[in-house]
């Protein structure tokens, strides 16, 4: 083991608030990711599936957990990340990301429950992440 | 009534690499710093789903169902991080489920020598255009 002790079950990661997301944010993410699903960019299409506005890309939100976790513990490296997209965050809304340690061991790493919430406080993403202790420089 | 197993379509392998400029753009758009230590953001492989063959397969499935793809879940599991500039082989398997209607996409990222580096699981719900669906995010 190197450096700081592992976090303990129950430890929380400082929350991060993102947004509000505007059309330019969604257009830039679409360009960077290649996910140009028009549902995120087209008001009429969003309306056709019952949404009041285009939804923020779920991947933009899920991926944002990586910098959040890196800012929390830079001695740990993210090795897995997953999420279920439950309720959409819509254009014009903000999201709050939070994470809590469920278990941690040197053998299995640090396992966290992730949550993204929108203005209604209902879960937008329910996810999981695993962090492992960073190896010597250049390792993973 | 017997249930037919859903057919699976395989694609690839596609030779892909992590482009430095695109990785920096991606990192910026997810709120992160430029890629550190020469590694791609963990979710960067999502950009490879815009490869023409994969995009066309998703588009065809949506057209056939007169549906809009709505991102239901996503997972990434890494054996080792992906270094910028390195080449990888991306292999994709796509399955269409009927009830509920969805596309299940499993992708494997491996080194050209065949060593697995990451597994990616994607579920897209196929939402009929005229239906009202408030229970999923895209």
Q: Are A114 and A99 in contact (CB under 8 A)?
A: yes
Q: In the sheet that B87-97 helps form, which strands lie side by side, from edge to edge?
A: A12-18, A95-105, A109-117, A123-133, A76-85, B67-78, B116-128, B102-110, B87-97, B8-17
**Inter-chain residue contact A82 with B68, CB threshold 8 Å:** no
State pLDDT tens for residues A102-136: 999 999 999 999 999 999 999 999 999 999 998 76
Best to test chain B binding among A21, A45, A62 (most B CBs inside 10 Å): A62
Predicted TM-score (pTM) of the model is: 0.92
pLDDT tens digit sequence for A78-104: 999 999 999 999 999 999 999 999 999
Task: Choose, out of B19, B37, B42, B84, the residue to mutate when testing the contact with A (most A CBs < 10 Å).
Answer: B42
Nearest CA in chain B to A55: B138
Question: Which superfamily, per CATH, for B8-128?
Answer: Hotdog Thioesterase (3.10.129.10)
Ordered structural domains, chain A, with CATH: 12-21+57-133 (3.10.129.10)
């Amino acid at each position: 083991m190197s450096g700081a002790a592992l976090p303990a079950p129950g430890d929380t990661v400082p929350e991060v608030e993102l947004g509000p997301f505007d059309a330019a944010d969604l257009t830039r993410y679409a360009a960077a990711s290649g996910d140009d699903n028009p549902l995120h960019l087209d008001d009429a299409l969003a309306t056709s599936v019952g949404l009041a506005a285009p939804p923020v890309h779920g991947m933009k939100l899920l991926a944002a957990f990586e910098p959040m976790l890196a800012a929390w513990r830079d001695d740990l490296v993210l090795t897995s990340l997953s999420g279920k997209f439950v309720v959409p965050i819509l254009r014009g809304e903000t999201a709050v990301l939070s994470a809590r340690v469920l278990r941690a061991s040197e053998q299995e790493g640090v396992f966290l429950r992730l949550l993204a919430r929108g203005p209604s406080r209902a879960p937008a993403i329910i996810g999981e992440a695993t962090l492992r202790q960073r190896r010597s420089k250049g390792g993973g | 009534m017997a249930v037919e197993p859903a057919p699976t379509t395989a694609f690839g392998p596609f030779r892909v690499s992590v482009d430095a400029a695109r990785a920096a753009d991606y990192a910026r758009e997810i709120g992160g710093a430029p890629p550190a230590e020469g590694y791609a953001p963990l979710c960067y492989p999502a950009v490879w789903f815009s490869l023409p063959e994969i995009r066309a397969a998703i588009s065809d499935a949506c057209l056939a169902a007169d549906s809009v793809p709505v991102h239901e879940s996503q997972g990434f599991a890494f054996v080792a991080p992906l270094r910028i500039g390195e080449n990888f082989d991306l292999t994709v398997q796509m399955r269409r489920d009927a009830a509920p209607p969805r596309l299940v996409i499993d992708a494997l990222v491996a080194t050209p020598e065949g060593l697995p580096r990451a597994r990616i699981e994607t579920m897209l719900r196929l939402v009929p255009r005229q239906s009202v669906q408030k229970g999923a995010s895209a």
